[in-house]
Structures are given as structure tokens and as C-alpha cells.
């Protein structure tokens, strides 16, 4: 971990609640639990469940490493420009924890600033590690919603040189530009709902993305990314290669590149997932459908990037490797039923570095019920036992079933026989599952 300076650092105060990183001892003094409620008071409350504080900022500023802050249900907004502080902590075991109170829905709105929540330091570009976990329960949760605000609002959550943030089961919606843009390393976005972002109506602004990763070693695991204006997920940093070793896995990515007429396939310049540049960025066990332009794109400046065991269908182009990409590996993917080409390899016949593209299925994979987005395999599917062994990289499928289930890896996101979870709208939805890297 990077050296930490013993000084207080404020962050950009564009957000509803901006967080500074307050340098303090990383040793826990004993984990404590605090509460915030819309009926609380920062002046007379003591942070107990019977006498909660009013503002999240006050709660953050009162926490030490290992503490937990529960936020009671309700809407929190109108506090733009106020700054809270959080401690930097040494590891995930001593992280600060922010949670919704069980069974209660917390909504953060924007008071007209550029972001709802932002993390950062005045010591930019030096990075600081905070080890902060924001976790919602599965049934209700934490929502960042800019629906009623200025359309120029940038994001739900932004970062600036802040590392080690974990977001679990949150929702981000209606941000005019990017939904979540960390600008930091070792962020984890787990089981998130990221939708209807990047739809700024200003014609001078390009449609933007659900999540935009610009730094390295980040993980997106599970969740749904849909109806965003540009890409559902973009990994790219112009002029830099620091955004490397990022992984996107077990996610549902669909209907991105949304346009004013509501049809992603009529949009321009967006799609499902782009591995834009950097080194060894990759995607596996994802399911992508009906994303405009391209379901997955591996750009020319993405070095040794990969796509394994994804299921892609119903887009304009299934998967594209742009000419000039070096060391690209595309294996065990179902890429079927797209309006244009299923696979476009810009390196093919170019005389440059060739891509390794094999064990993919572009014929009918015999999906169980594609009309209802059930992309499991039926008996007799040509994808069964047709893949190459990738167990040195991962050993679970989209649903968490062991790979391989038979003598060999199946092609696509599902191993044959996997169960399919259902969300409240009938689309498949993964529950929280964090499979360690192998």
C-alpha cells in the first residue's frame, strides 16, 4: 500500500456529500455502530439508534476504522457543498462500513451539484487508500437518483485518486453523464443496478456510460447494466495505460446505447462493454444482449485483453477486435443472432499481431427461452462440452455452478444444468457471489 501522509485532505466539494480522507491511526479502537436518520439531529444526537444523527456527513466524520454506520430509510438531499471525512484504513478487515438499515430503502438525491457523492483528495495525483465498504441489503437498498435534478449533473458516484472502495447492491440511475466513475484503483462494484445514465440531452455532449473505469485493478462482479446512453461499461483512459488488470464478470449488460426513440440498435458510438486500452483487461461469464453497435469491443490499444465464456446476442455486432490490438484472446464465447457480424477481427489478414480466437460458437446454441432472456443451454446444445479448459483462470459459471460440469468446459456464460435466478421484472439476476481470482 502507498505511504499515507499525516494530514487532513479535503475533496472536491461538487458532491451532495463530499468525503475527505482524514489521516489517522489505522489501528481500530474497537468497532462501534452508529445511526443516521431523517428525524435525527447532529447537535443533540449521539449516533445511537434512539438518538441518531441527521446527516451522513456527520456520521462519516465520527467513524474510525472498523466502525459501521447504518442509515435509516428515507431521502437525503439538499446538503450540497458540505464535506464529511472518513479515515484511511489498513485493509478490508478494518474497513469503515456504510449500510442501509435492514429492510429500509435509502435514497440519495442531488441538490444541483455535479455529483451525488464524491471521494477525493487535494493531494492529486497521489493516491490514498481508504478501505470503505458501502453495502445495501438485497431486498431494499441504497439508491443514488438524479431523476428530478439538473440534467447537467455528472454522476452518482465519482472518485479522484482514492483507492479501495467496495460498493455492494447499490443502485445508480438518472445521472446526466457517467453513472459511476472511480478515477481510483482497487474499486469493487458488486451486484449493482446501473441504469438510465449518460442520457444528457445537451447536443454538445456525447452520450455517456453506466460505469467508466479509468484506473487499474478494479472488479465489476454481478449486477445489471442497462439503458445507459453510451456503453454499459467502459474501460478506457485517454493517453494512459494505468487502467490495467480490470475484470468484468457475471454481469447482465443489455439495451445500452439508448437513443431518444428508445432503440439501442439505432444509436451511435455505444454498446455493451468496451475494453478500450490498458493491459490484461478482461471479461468472462457475462450475458449481453441488444446493445447497440457492439456487445463487446476490444480496442486497438488494449494489450493482451481477453473475453472468455460470455454469451452475446441480439446486438448490431457481437464482438469486435479492432485492428492493432495486441495479444487478444477470445475463447468459449457464444456469439449468435446479431444483426451484423457475430465476430469482427480487425487483425485478420492485416499482417499485424494476430488474435487468438477459438472455441467460440456462432451457430444456434439452443437457448432455453431467449424470448425471456433465459440463455441457459438445452439438452443437445452444441455448446455443451465444446469449450477449452480455462480452470486456471476461473472455475464457476454465471450462476455459480462449478466448471466444468461435464468432461469439458461448456461454451457461453452457463454450464449445462445451471439454475437461473429471476429478478422482479423477469430478467435473470445474480445474487451476491464473489468468486476469488485464480
Which CATH number covers residue 34?
2.160.20
Q: Among the ranges 14-18, 23-27, 216-220, which has the highest mean pLDDT value?
A: 216-220
- 372, part of any domain: no
**How many structural domains does the chain have?**
1
Residue with more model confidence, 138 or 351: 138
- 80, part of any domain: yes
Q: What's residue 24's pLDDT?
A: 45
- 306, part of any domain: yes
- 357, part of any domain: no
- 370, part of any domain: no
Give per-residue pLDDT as tens, 84-135: 678 889 999 999 999 999 999 999 987 667 788 888 776 777 888 999 999 9
Query: Read out DSSP for 56-119?
Result: HHHHHHT--TT-EEEE-SEEE-S-TTEEEEEE--SSGGG-EEEEEPTT-EEEE--SSSSEEEEE
Give per-residue pLDDT as tens, 146-193: 875 555 567 889 888 899 999 999 999 998 889 999 989 999 999 999
b/e code 315-330 from CB counts within 10 Å (16+ = b): bbbbbbbbbebbebbb
Q: Domain range holding 102?
A: 8-321
Q: Is the distance from CB of 145 to CB of 174 less than 8 angstroms?
A: yes
Q: How far, in Å, CA of 29 to CA of 26, rounded?
A: 9
Least confident of 26-30, 97-101, 402-406: 26-30
pTM for the full predicted model: 0.89
- 430, part of any domain: no
- 331, part of any domain: no
Give per-residue pLDDT as tens, 305-339: 999 999 999 998 999 999 889 999 999 999 999 98
- 59, part of any domain: yes
Which residues have C-beta within 8 Å of that of residue 101, sequence separation ≥ 6?
35, 70, 71, 72, 73
3-state SS, residue 372 = helix
- Cα radius of gyration (the chain): 22
Amino acid at each position: 500500500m502507498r505511504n499515507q501522509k499525516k494530514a487532513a485532505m479535503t475533496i472536491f466539494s461538487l458532491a451532495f456529500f463530499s468525503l475527505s480522507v482524514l489521516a489517522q491511526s489505522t489501528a481500530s479502537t474497537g468497532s462501534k455502530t452508529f445511526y443516521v436518520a431523517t428525524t435525527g439531529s447532529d447537535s443533540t444526537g449521539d449516533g445511537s439508534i434512539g438518538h441518531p444523527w441527521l446527516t451522513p456527513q456527520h456520521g462519516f466524520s465520527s467513524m474510525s476504522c472498523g466502525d459501521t454506520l447504518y442509515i435509516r430509510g428515507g431521502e437525503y438531499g439538499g446538503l450540497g457543498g458540505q464535506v464529511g471525512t472518513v479515515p484511511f484504513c489498513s485493509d478490508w478487515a478494518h474497513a469503515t462500513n456504510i449500510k442501509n438499515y435492514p429492510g429500509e430503502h435509502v435514497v440519495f438525491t442531488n441538490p444541483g451539484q455535479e455529483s451525488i457523492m464524491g471521494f477525493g483528495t487535494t493531494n492529486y495525483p497521489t493516491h490514498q487508500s481508504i478501505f470503505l465498504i458501502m453495502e445495501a441489503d438485497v431486498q431494499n437498498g441504497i439508491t443514488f437518483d438524479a431523476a428530478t435534478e439538473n440534467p447537467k449533473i455528472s454522476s452518482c458516484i465519482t472518485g479522484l485518486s482514492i483507492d479501495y472502495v467496495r460498493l455492494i447492491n447499490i443502485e445508480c440511475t438518472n445521472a446526466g453523464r457517467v453513472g459511476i466513475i472511480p478515477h481510483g484503483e482497487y474499486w469493487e462494484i458488486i451486484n449493482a443496478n446501473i441504469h438510465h445514465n449518460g442520457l444528457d440531452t445537451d447536443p454538445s455532449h456525447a452520450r455517456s456510460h453506466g460505469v467508466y473505469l479509468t484506473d487499474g485493478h478494479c472488479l465489476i462482479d454481478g449486477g445489471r447494466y442497462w439503458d445507459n446512453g453510451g456503453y454499459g461499461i467502459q474501460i478506457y483512459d485517454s493517453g494512459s495505460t494505468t487502467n490495467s488488470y480490470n475484470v468484468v464478470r457475471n454481469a447482465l449488460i443489455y439495451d445500452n446505447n439508448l437513443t431518444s426513440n428508445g432503440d439501442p440498435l439505432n444509436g451511435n458510438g455505444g454498446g455493451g462493454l468496451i475494453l478500450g486500452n490498458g493491459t490484461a483487461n478482461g471479461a468472462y461469464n457475462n450475458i449481453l444482449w441488444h446493445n447497440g453497435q457492439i456487445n463487446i469491443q476490444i480496442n486497438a490499444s488494449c494489450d493482451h485483453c481477453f473475453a472468455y465464456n460470455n454469451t452475446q446476442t441480439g446486438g448490431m455486432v457481437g464482438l469486435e477486435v479492432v485492428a492493432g490490438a495486441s495479444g487478444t484472446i477470445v475463447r468459449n464465447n457464444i456469439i449468435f443472432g446479431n444483426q451484423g457480424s457475430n465476430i469482427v477481427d480487425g487483425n485478420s489478414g492485416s499482417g499485424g499481431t494476430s488474435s487468438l480466437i477459438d472455441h467460440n460458437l456462432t451457430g444456434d446454441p439452443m437457448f432455453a427461452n431467449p424470448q425471456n432472456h433465459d440463455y441457459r443451454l438445452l439438452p443437445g446444445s452444441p455448446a455443451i462440452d465444446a469449450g477449452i479448459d480455462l480452470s486456471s483462470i476461473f472455475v464457476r459459471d454465471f450462476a455459480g455452478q462449478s466448471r466444468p460440469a461435464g468432461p469439458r468446459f461448456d461454451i457461453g456464460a452457463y454450464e449445462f444444468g445451471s439454475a437461473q435466478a429471476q429478478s422482479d421484472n423477469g430478467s435473470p439476476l445474480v445474487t451476491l457471489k464473489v468468486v476469488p481470482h485464480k
